[in-house]
């Protein structure tokens, strides 16, 4: 009985909260998940703006892989999550946020002369560091490379974006990352980015929610601020 009625009671509670807070100061809790590249790109600025404008709302921001975050949304452990668009339907509600280029990233001290646009096949002969195959970005990169019969073999694999960037900034290693990842980092001057062609690498970022669990007013307000920052940062990058 409890397992049957609990989702209904929870939905009624959330609906009541939305009606009560429409014209009043927001309260409650926001529980959102992020893939690491989005978290590192805009999350800090989003949090600062949100908590300043809504001081009575608490926020939990979780970071993880797209597949894990999807499971957490399905299990009601997260209100929503920002992930790479999955290749297969998940049974969750999905809202498109941005299409973002993946670019070649080198350090400023990288010695090899490169063209303005990098054919993906050229990376087969370069010292690559990439996320592991557990990471959503790696799935996108490998999937698009396979369509051109290109095999990328990184010498170093790690899911820590910060570690990848630190390695690239101080060595002759190169990487492939979303442009947003470094577009507003303080140390951006340490890197150079090059568009990749043949094929062009693009990832789609979406916001997923559960179709039977409407967002509370606070979570909806948080996501609106997030969308604004994503659009602004992508335009600037």
Mean pLDDT of 132-139: 91
User: Would the pLDDT of 20 be above 60?
Assistant: no
Shared domain check, 94 and 209: yes
Q: What is the pLDDT of residue 182?
A: 81
Shared domain check, 160 and 228: no
Shared domain check, 151 and 136: yes
Task: Specify the CATH number for the domain of residue 221.
Answer: 3.40.190.10
Q: Among residues 20, 1, 8, 25, which one has the least CA distance to residue 76?
A: 8
Shared domain check, 171 and 84: no
Mean pLDDT of 197-217: 92
Asked if residues 225 and 45 have their Cβ atoms less than 8 Å apart, the reply is no
Shared domain check, 183 and 146: yes
Q: Among residues 180, 230, 215, 234, which one has the least CA distance to residue 32?
A: 215
Mean pLDDT of 87-109: 91
Q: What is the pLDDT of residue 213?
A: 87
Shared domain check, 74 and 32: yes
E strand or H helix that includes residue 232: helix 217-236
Give the long-range contacts of residues 69-76, CB within 8 A, separation 24 or more.
69/33, 69/34, 69/35, 69/208, 70/208, 72/33, 73/33, 73/208, 73/209, 73/210, 74/210, 76/10, 76/210, 76/213
Shared domain check, 57 and 147: no
List of residues 6+ apart from 183 with CB closer than 8 A = 41, 233, 236, 237
Shared domain check, 66 and 30: yes
Q: Among residues 181, 45, 25, which one has the least CA distance to residue 103?
A: 181
Q: What is the pLDDT of residue 1?
A: 76
Shared domain check, 215 and 186: no
Task: Specify the CATH number for the domain of residue 141.
Answer: 3.40.190.290
User: Would the pLDDT of 31 be above 90?
Assistant: yes
User: Hey, what are 81's tokens?
Assistant: 């999550």
- What's the pLDDT tens digit per position in 104-128? 999 998 999 999 999 999 999 999 9
Asked if residues 201 and 139 have their Cβ atoms less than 8 Å apart, the reply is no
Q: What is the pLDDT of residue 6?
A: 60
More confidently predicted of 20 and 203: 203
Shared domain check, 199 and 106: yes
User: Would the pLDDT of 185 be above 80?
Assistant: no
Q: How far is CA 87 from the centre of its chain?
A: 16
Q: Among residues 117, 101, 100, 104, which one has the least CA distance to residue 193?
A: 104
Q: Among residues 68, 40, 47, which one has the least CA distance to residue 161?
A: 40
Q: Which domain holds residue 86?
A: 2-98+205-236
- Work out the pLDDT band at 2, boundaries 50, 70, 90: low
Shared domain check, 133 and 69: no
Which residues are 202's β-sheet partners? 101
User: Would the pLDDT of 198 be above 80?
Assistant: yes
Distance CA 37, CA 34 (A): 8
List of residues 6+ apart from 177 with CB closer than 8 A = 37, 102, 103, 105, 137, 161, 164, 165
pTM of the model: 0.83
Which residues are 99's β-sheet partners? 204
Q: What is the pLDDT of residue 126?
A: 96
Shared domain check, 177 and 106: yes
Q: What is the pLDDT of residue 159?
A: 93
């Amino acid at each position: 009985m409890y397992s049957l009625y609990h989702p209904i009671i929870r939905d009624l509670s959330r609906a009541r909260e939305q009606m009560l807070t429409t014209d009043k100061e927001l309260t409650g809790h926001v529980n959102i998940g992020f893939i690491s590249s989005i978290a590192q790109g805009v999350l800090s600025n989003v949090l600062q703006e949100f908590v300043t404008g809504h001081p009575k709302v608490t926020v939990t921001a979780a970071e993880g892989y797209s597949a894990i975050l999807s499971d957490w949304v399905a299990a009601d452990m997260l209100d929503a999550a920002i992930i790479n668009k999955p290749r297969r339907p998940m049974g969750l509600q999905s809202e498109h946020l941005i299409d973002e280029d993946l670019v070649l990233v080198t350090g400023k001290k990288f010695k090899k002369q490169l063209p303005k646009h990098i054919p993906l096949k050229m990376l087969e002969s370069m010292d690559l560091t990439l996320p592991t195959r557990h990471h959503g970005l790696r799935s996108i990169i490998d999937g698009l490379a396979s369509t051109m019969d290109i095999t990328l073999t990184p010498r170093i694999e790690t899911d820590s974006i910060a570690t990848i960037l630190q390695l690239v900034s101080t060595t002759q290693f190169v990487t492939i990352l979303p442009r947003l990842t470094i577009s507003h980092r303080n140390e951006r001057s340490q890197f150079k980015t090059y568009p990749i062609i043949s094929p062009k690498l693009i990832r789609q970022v979406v916001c997923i929610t559960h179709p039977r669990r409407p967002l509370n007013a606070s979570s909806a307000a948080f996501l609106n601020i997030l969308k604004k920052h994503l659009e602004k940062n992508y335009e600037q990058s």
